[in-house]
Structure 1
Amino acid sequence: MSSAPTREVARRVFAREFNDATYSFKESDDDRAPLYVLLPTGERANRIFVVGTLTETEDVGEDSEYWQGRIVDPNGDTFFVYAGQYQPDAAAMLRELEPPAYVSVVGKPRTYETDEGDVNVSVRPESITSVDETTRDRWVVETAERTLDRIKRFESDSAYEYAEMAREEYELPVENYRRSALEALETLEDEETATEASP
């Protein structure tokens, strides 16, 4: 039996829910224990997988390169990704890509408290890959399905540990995320209709 740590599943999540996931925690006191953010639909996430439109990149570093990327999902909500010297491949992608471009990102969620006491959530990318529209569309469908599954579990009466935790930590109606999922699917349908209508 190998004792090598297994990599956590990368959760698919829309930006609206991800940006609301301001509570982070560890399951143990071990220094190497993974850090999770708690999704408001009652799932923990140590890694996430997102696909969207890279709309802007900027080197916000002072002494060395530190790239910020804005990635917009189909609902117009934004993921912020930050990559510097410890994520050289991701930083190189942000430096070289010309927005707008479809990208997929696998990375770690990071929470950060502002001077005003607000909590911002961003992604520290493990990888950034240029993708096509078909890949983006498939991600939207799968992410909508996963989100709706999480909501169904959240609303069922079973005592699901992370759903309980989410109820305690967030006073956010999960209906918001159901709407995000359905709106995202509608944008795909609208795009298809527009494509068919164009000569």
Structure 2
Amino acid sequence: METSRQIQRQPAWIMLASEFGESTLNEKGSGEFDPTFVITKLGAKVNRVIVSGLVERLELRETSNGSQMYQGQLRDPSGLHYFSVGEYASESMREFVVQLLDKVDSGEPVLLSMTAKARWYQTDEGAVYTSLRPEEAAIVTRERYASWLVRACAATLERLDQHQKSLNCEPTKEAMLKEGIRPEMVDGILSAQTHYGQIDTEGYRLNVMQALDIAEGKMAAATTAPPTLKLLDPDSGDDADASAGGEDLQAVILECIQAMDNGEGVDFESLVRNLAARGFTREQSEAELDTMSDDGILHEPRFGWFKIVA
């Protein structure tokens, strides 16, 4: 008789958005029940993660098979996490996200902490993007958020130290263990070195500095909206004309994306804020973005980000 295999619950990493979001390497065992990992540039093998931040966007969408899914963005000082809650989620999680949507739609700023499963997907063009599937979530106070930031920074600095140690030894398991690298980091670091090669860690250190500043009380930095672009001449009278029809709105959207796209597209909220500064309502902007996507003028390389189709 075949014995059943016990599924081991994977530990959760505490991680800032930049480290998780920049990951393009994944690993899955050959067994049916083997866990899937996202491997970061610093060598963390992430199956589950604890994240926290400001809910920047949350909306209900219908999938291609007709089911409903809530998709959202969670911002911490280093960047954005993308998460989704669908019919596969527990009843308590689905009930929670419905209540959360009401708060977000009312304009109430919400700080959220969640434990989530790491997910990734690859586009037809080969680009890899990460996302989260929440297991548990709770609204937190600024004090709890500040405490999480301190823990996340300490964890990031520890991984940076492990990465630095790995540069001083041969790329073998034995050499890394002898160098003092933690056993649970060795396999991930070896895989990361092979996949990512030499990496620049300065950005992660800057993220830690900014997060610690926020944890010390500069909370405004966690919720600051991106600056708006001044695309049109205010003396030209173009603002009034631009608000008059979809064709002009389309031109402004294209100009915004061209000005703001650093290669990965432009996120929905940044576009809406800039378009609002030009006199367009959120409803107008969202409708036009949907139309431009349907017409093949824009595409979403990942949820909530827009690029101009070449």
The TM tier, using the shorter chain, reads: 0.7 to 0.9
What are the Cα deviations for residues 7-43 of structure 1, in whole angstroms up to 9, with x where unaligned?
21110111111111121102x3111011111011111
Q: What is the Cα-based RMSD across aligned positions, in Å?
A: 2.0
* TM-score, reference length from structure 2: 0.57
Q: Does the 8 Å contact 1:69/1:94 carry over to 2?
A: no
Secondary structure in 2 aligned to 1:60? strand
Partner residue, 1:189: 216
Aligned partners of 2:213, 2:80: CA distance in 1, in Å? 18
CA distance in 2, matches of 1:16, 1:48: 13
Distance 1:192 1:161 in 2: 37
Match status 1:81 vs 2:56: no
For residue 31 of structure 2, give the secondary structure of its aligned residue in structure 1.
Answer: coil
Distance 1:102 1:192, change over 3 A: closer
C-alpha distance 192-132 of structure 1, shift in aligned 2 (>3 A): closer
Distance 1:192 1:21, change over 3 A: closer
**2:148 corresponding residue in structure 1:** 139
> Which string of whole-angstrom CA distances, capped at 9 and with x for unpartnered residues, describes residues 168-187 of structure 1?
21243223212211221122
TM-score, normalised by the number of residues in structure 1: 0.87
| Mapped contact 2:52–2:113 kept (Cα < 8 A) | yes
Query: Does structure 2 conserve the Cα–Cα contact (< 8 Å) formed by 1:66 and 1:91?
Result: no
**How many residue pairs are counted as aligned between the two chains?**
190
What is the alpha-carbon distance in structure 2 between the residues aligned to residue 184 and residue 56 of structure 1?
A: 21
Q: Which amino acid aligns with 2:88?
A: Y
Aligned to 1:41: 42
Identity of aligned residues (%): 27
In the TM superposition, residue 188 of structure 1 has moved relative to its aligned partner by: 2.5
* CA deviation profile, 1:145-189 (whole Å, cap 9, x unmatched): 001001101111352332121122124322321221122112223
Q: Larger relative contact order (C-alpha < 8 A, sep ≥ 6)? A: 1
1:72-95 deviation digits (Å, cap 9, x = unpaired): 1023x1111001011143333222
Gaps of 5+ in 2: 169-174, 177-185, 222-310
Q: Is the 8 A contact 2:147 2:215 kept in 1?
A: no
1:57/1:95 contact within 8 Å kept: no
Structure showing the higher helix proportion among its residues:
2
Larger strand fraction of residues: 1
**Runs of 4+ deviating beyond 4 Å:** none
User: d(CA) in 2 for partners of 1:46 and 1:193?
Assistant: 31
Distance 2:70 2:62 in 1: 7
Q: CA deviation at 1:193?
A: 10
* Paired residues of 2:84 and 2:132 also in contact (CA < 8 A): yes
Give me the whole-angstrom Cα distance separating, in 2, the residues matched to 1:137 and 1:5: 34
In structure 2, which of residues 134, 137, 141 is the aligned counterpart of residue 125 of structure 1?
Answer: 134
2:178 paired with 1:176: no
Higher gyration radius (CA) = 2
Q: Which letter maps to 2:46? A: A
User: Which whole-Å CA distance do the structure 1 matches of 2:145 and 2:124 have between them?
Assistant: 35
Q: Which moved more, 1:86-95 or 1:185-194?
A: 185-194
Report what 2:283 is aligned to.
none
User: What pairs with 1:1-199 in structure 2 (closer than 5 Å)?
Assistant: 4-26=6-28, 28-62=29-63, 63-75=66-78, 77-87=79-89, 88-97=91-100, 98-99=103-104, 100-156=109-165, 157=168, 159=176, 160-171=186-197, 172-189=199-216, 191=218
